[in-house]
Chains A and B, each alone.
Chain A
Amino acid sequence: MSITYLEAIREAQAKALADDPRVFIYGQDVGAFGGAFKATKNLAKEFPGRVLDAPISEDAILGSAVGAAIEGMRPIIEMQFADFSTVGFNQIVNQAATLFWRTRVPCPIVVRLPGGGTSGSGPFHSQSMEAIYAHYPGLVVMTPATVEDAYSMLIEAVAIDDPVIFCEHKFLYYHLKAEALPTEALPVGKARIARVGRDMTIVTYSAMVHECLAVADELKAEGYEIEVVDLRSIKPLDTDTVMASVARTGRLLCVGESWPWGGVTAEVVARVASEGFGLLDAPPQRLNAKDTPVPYHPNLWAAHRPTARSIAAAARRLLQQ
Chain B
Amino acid sequence: MVQTVHRPEPAVEEIPFRELYLKAFQGMLLARILDDKLASLYRSGKIHGGVFLSRGQEALSVAVGLSLRQGDVFAPLIRDTAGRLAFGETVLEALQTSLGSALGPMRGRDGNVHRGNPRAGYLAMISHLGAMISVVNGVLLGRRLKGLSGSVGATCIGEGATSTGAFHEALNQAAVEKLPLVLVVANNQYAYSTPASEQFACRALVDRALGYGVTGSEVDGTDLDACLKTIGEAVARARKGGGPQLVVANLLRLCGHGEHDDAGYIDPKLKASPLGRDCVKVSVDYLSKQGWADAAAVAAWRAEAVHQIDEAVAQVQREPAPDPFGEEWCAMSTSHLSEGGERKGGE
Chain A residues proximal to chain B, CB less than 8 Å:
24, 49-50, 54-55, 57-73, 75, 87, 90-91, 94-95, 97-107, 137-138, 140, 160-162, 188-189, 235-237
Contacts and interface: CB of A to CB of B under 8 A. Distances in A.
13 contacts: A57-B172, A59-B169, A59-B170, A60-B134, A67-B134, A67-B135, A67-B142, A69-B138, A71-B143, A71-B146, A72-B146, A94-B127, A137-B340
B124 interface: yes
Given A50-B145, A55-B173, A71-B139, A98 B126 contact: yes
Contact of B140 (A67, A94, A137, A235): A67
Contact of A189 (B109, B119, B126, B336): B336
Contacts of A68: 138-139, 141-142, 145
B337 interface: yes
Given A73-B145, A162-B332, A65 B131 contact: no
Interface residues of B, number: 47
Interface stretch (B110-118, B283-291, B293-301): B110-118
B40 interface: no
Contact of B142 (A59, A72, A107, A138): A72
B33 interface: no
B106 interface: yes
B134 A102 contact: no
Contacts of A98: 126, 331
Given A59-B169, A68-B138, A162-B334, A236 B133 contact: no
A71 B331 contact: no
Contacts of B315: none
B333 A106 contact: yes
Given A24-B145, A60-B173, A98-B126, A67 B137 contact: yes
B77 interface: no
A101 B328 CA distance: 10
Given A72-B142, A140-B337, A60 B169 contact: yes
B166 interface: yes
Given A60-B173, A94-B131, A95-B131, A100 B332 contact: yes
Given A68-B141, A137-B331, A235-B339, 6 more contacts: A49-B145, A57-B169, A59-B166, A67-B141, A73-B145, A103-B117
Contacts of B39: none
Contacts of A55: 169, 172-173, 176
Contacts of B105: 103
Given A67-B135, A67-B136, A67-B137, A59 B165 contact: yes
Which 9 A-B pairs have CB atoms at the shortest separation, nearest pair first?
Answer: A67-B138, A63-B134, A71-B142, A64-B138, A57-B169, A60-B169, A68-B142, A106-B333, A138-B331
B114 A102 contact: yes
A63 B336 contact: no
Contacts of B176: 55
A99 B114 CA distance: 11
Contacts of A60: 133-134, 137, 166, 169-170, 172-173
Contacts of A64: 134-135, 137-138, 141, 170, 173
A94 B138 contact: no
A106 B135 CA distance: 14
Nearest to B179: A64
A66 B138 contact: yes
B123 interface: yes
A61 B174 CA distance: 11
Contacts of A72: 142, 146
A48 B135 CA distance: 23
A63 B131 contact: yes
A64 B110 CA distance: 22
Contacts of B173: 54-55, 57, 60-61, 64
Given A63-B131, A70-B135, A103 B336 contact: no
Contacts of A91: 131, 134
B31 to A, nearest CB: 23
A73 B140 contact: no
Contacts of A50: 145
Contact of B170 (A63, A99, A162): A63
Given A57-B172, A64-B134, A67-B136, A90 B128 contact: yes
Contacts of A188: 337
Contact of A63 (B138, B146, B172): B138
B126 A94 contact: yes
A98 B133 CA distance: 17
Contacts of A162: 332-334, 337
A145 B106 CA distance: 39
Contact of A101 (B138, B166, B169, B331): B331
A90 B131 contact: yes
B49 to A, nearest CB: 15
B193 interface: no
A220 to B, nearest CB: 35
A98 to B, nearest CB: 7
A63 B135 contact: yes
B1 interface: yes
A24 B146 CA distance: 11
Residue from A54, A65, A71, A90 having most chain B Cβ neighbours under 10 A: A71
A99 B141 contact: no
A136 to B, nearest CB: 9
A104 B133 contact: no
Contact of A90 (B142, B166, B339): B166
Contacts of B137: 60, 63-64, 67
B198 to A, nearest CB: 23
Contact of A236 (B123, B140, B337): B337
Nearest to A73: B142
B163 interface: no
Contacts of B339: 235-237
Contacts of A102: 106, 109-110, 114, 124
Residue from B117, B118, B127, B169 having most chain A Cβ neighbours under 10 A: B169
B194 interface: no
A189 B336 CA distance: 9
